[in-house]
Amino acid sequence: MPWQSLLKRRDRLPANPDLGEGFATLLQQLGAVSPFELAVAGGRLMATPGLAFLVGYQAALRMLWPSAPLSLGALCATEQRSLRVADMQTRLRDLHLNGRKDFVTAGDSADWLLVAARSEEPGEVPRLNLAVVYPGEPGVRLEKLAPMPLMPDIGHGRLFLDNALCELLAGDGWDAYVKPFRTLEDTYVLSAMTAWLYGVGQDSDWPQSLQLRLLALLAGCAEVSRQAPNNPAGHVLLGGLFAQFDGLKAEVNQALADGPPTWAAMWQRDQTVMDLAAGARGKRLTKALAVY
């Protein structure tokens, strides 16, 4: 990570209601970057916490699928609010998909979709594959969902698949993709949101000690980003980073309250996104600590 570019950066991209176009503008400005650099430099440039979240999410997708297209994508796994393989009804047969995914982050704006689908034969243990489909292709339909109170600038969609032709990614859909994505998303979203807060702190002249601790948190994120997502030691380190982040909340909220009200209102509205995966993250941490 070229930290000097983050320290010197003072610009910010205007919010673009077209998420795909806004992401293309960001990539054009950043040039060739690693997923971690995308999360941090991109998060710093974003106009809202929601857009910073989206950048972190895209960085995590590029760790999951390094050859992903240079455009907005989404992972489609959840069905009926569940990620359990046995609960999924979307099916893969002969490179065709049938089923639905109920909640796709930025799905209404995505250019490509990674779809988790069951592929076992009748009577076999449930097994997942990960497939790629493209909106607008035959049998692929996205329904835009109503905006949510949390991060209303990031749309969501429902995916319907009717004998849709797909491409398959190598490896087991659960072990190689859906399971590790939970850790990757935590890591890169934390990186992007911390970078966004650091940028607000720069712009609002927050206390130097707070800005330095946010930078130290980003340095920790850089180390965790180098860990394999199935490494228990990485889960312990990630747990430490979230503990640091939580420990800064009161001071961050006070600094926001003392500054421009626009930033404070945005963060007040969107900050709970960091708590949505806390339960699953806590279980991973407990299992990882039991190893040592």
Q: Which residues lie below 8 Å from residue 27, measured CB to CB, with a gap of 6+?
A: 70
pLDDT value at position 252?
98
Over range 23-38, report the average pLDDT: 96
Listed residue (84, 81, 69, 26) closest to 51, CA to CA: 26
Task: Determine the Cα–Cα distance for residues 13 and 210; give it in Å rounded to an integer.
Answer: 24
Output the pLDDT for position 19.
96
CA-CA distance, 112 to 132, in Å (whole number)? 7
- pLDDT value at residue 263: 97
Residue 122 has what pLDDT? 87
Q: Helix H segments across the chain?
A: 3-8, 19-30, 35-45, 49-64, 179-204, 208-225, 232-247, 249-257, 261-270, 278-291
Average pLDDT for 29-40: 95
Summarize the confidence of residues 9-20 as an average pLDDT.
92
Q: What local confidence, expressed as pLDDT, does residue 108 receive? A: 87
Q: Is the pTM of this model over 0.85?
A: yes
* Residue 189: pLDDT over 90: yes
Tokens of 150: 């949390």
The structure tokens 């692929």 sit at 140
Domains present along the chain, CATH in parentheses? 3-64+176-291 (no CATH), 73-168 (2.40.110.10)
Between the CA atoms of 177, 280, 194 and 116, what dihedral angle is there, to the nearest 10 degrees? 20
pLDDT, residue 81, reads 86
Mean pLDDT of the chain: 95
Q: Model confidence over 134-179: pLDDT tens digits?
A: 999 999 999 999 989 999 999 999 999 999 999 999 999 999 999 9
Does residue 292 surpass a pLDDT of 90? no
What is the sign of the dihedral through the CA atoms of 56, 61, 64 and 68? Answer: negative
Which band of pLDDT confidence, cut at 50, 70 and 90, is reported for residue 7? Answer: confident
How confident is the model over 1-28, as a mean pLDDT?
90
Other Cβ atoms less than 10 A from the Cβ of 116: the count is: 25
Residue 187 near residue 60, CB atoms below 8 Å: yes
Render pLDDT for 55-92 as a digit per residue (tens, 0 to 9): 999 999 999 999 999 999 999 999 988 889 999 999 99
